Structure 1
């Protein structure tokens, strides 16, 4: 049995996404994109126990799995990322628009939960669609208050290399200094390697 780690997570970072291809040999279109300054993220994995009855008692139990939903907030979600995630039409003048014919693409996502001992728990979301967020604003007062951007999505099952059945959420842990799980997750979710950090 693998060694158990009981350290709770204390942060989140490393949010990446990529648009999935509809056809072709590669899994994603273009590059894997990073959105910095992730503040919170919640992955809802609802399940319900369903009971079958007979002879005035429970005859059988079964698990009913609900829809996987994700809600995340960022210090700022740049417009260029919203354009991609939401499939917005843009103009050469730099305008982006919402409309009744918006058709967001299927995307895959990865993020990490961080721990004080330097380890990371990686979470992969293989196939989902983001929905339009509300546009909010607030007046500046005597003290400065930063506002965050929130966006939601729903995810579904997808064939993922290494698993016998389709999956909708994949998790794994890297000890401090290790990237084995991260690299395997990027290959499974995006079909490519972890993006190289640009040299300064």
Structure 2
């Protein structure tokens, strides 16, 4: 009994390190980062939810840059965790798609928008429909990447995918409102 208690005491006194499914990565302090944790997944989900809320609150011509920056932040939040590599890849895909949209349809006549300490570039108003279609495709592909995951990371990726996919309905409803508004005026 004494030996068992001593083992427990020794284990508790040792520095704690997280175990990752792949190679763990050291952080700035040199300790090992825990991967596949509810904390990390919750952080990513929060970045996506709060970012989506912010993006929906600004005019639609700025939303594409807002979402681009949101997916960039989401990717950065998991960049130190090798187990979240596929999530990082999915976020990067959406970010690149939106970057291409901004490059293809810049609105140089409209000033950038500052909101919550960030600056968003507009696209041309007549490009919103085609830009939305490209965004939806990229988001659907990102959701597919996340949902194809196997193993222990799957449950974490499913949580993230539910948020990535949830913005689709909001974008569609905004487009529908624009179409209806155009027909009424």
TM-score bracket for the superposition, by shorter chain length: under 0.3
Q: TM-score, normalised by structure 2?
A: 0.26
Which structure dedicates a bigger proportion of its chain to helix?
Answer: 2
Which structure dedicates a bigger proportion of its chain to strand?
Answer: 1
- Say which one has the larger Rg: 2
Q: TM-score, normalised by structure 1?
A: 0.25
